[in-house]
A = this chain, B = another copy of it.
Amino acid sequence: MFKKRDNIKEVEEGKYLAPKFDENGLIPVVATDFQTGGILMHGYMNEESLKKTIETKEAHYWSRSRKKIWRKGEISGFVQKVREIRIDDDQDSIWLFVDIGKGASCHVGYRSCFYRSIPLGNIINTEKLEMDFKEKEKIFDPKEVYKNEPNPTKL
């Protein structure tokens, strides 16, 4: 669908979008909060969801758990309005700048999926690395919002 990846110089220094999708047809995507700058979530897109995101200016991902295109917010109402999209040097990962207003991006209920911080320094026991919760309050109650939807988290 997008430009063919003909040569490395063009991929890195050229002006044409020529994204690389992996063996599953996916490209990793990071969404940052347009207001705070922090990372909200890490997900994946296929060709079609990238095209839809560019055209509609609303974030569309590929749901690996449901195996379908996922318009972020279609169940929760927490839509991500896309203000800018960037791609990296070798065009194999994408950065979305999104506006979520006072909403949330995490299915557990927090604003950002990255609510826990890993302790730094010497590790005494790798099996008991205690993290620190950086977000203290949930924005919404997942049970109320998702009702009987299956949890996307896999072990």
Contacts and interface: CB of A to CB of B under 8 A. Distances in A.
A56 to B, nearest CB: 9
Nearest to A113: B88
A46 to B, nearest CB: 14
For this chain, the copies found in one complex come to 2
Contact of A106 (B1, B4, B89): B89
A68 interface: no
Contact of A16 (B1, B41, B130): B130
Given A32-B39, A89-B107, A153-B12, A55 B121 contact: yes
B86 A155 contact: no
A55 B95 CA distance: 28
A14 to B, nearest CB: 8
A3 B128 contact: yes
A121 B155 CA distance: 38
A7 B51 CA distance: 36
Given A57-B120, A128-B3, A154 B90 contact: yes
Given A28-B28, A54-B121, A121-B54, A114 B87 contact: yes
A85 B128 CA distance: 16
Interface in A81-126: 82, 84-90, 92-93, 95, 106-108, 110, 113-123, 126
The 5 closest A-B pairs by CB, nearest first: A37-B37, A42-B93, A88-B113, A17-B129, A90-B153
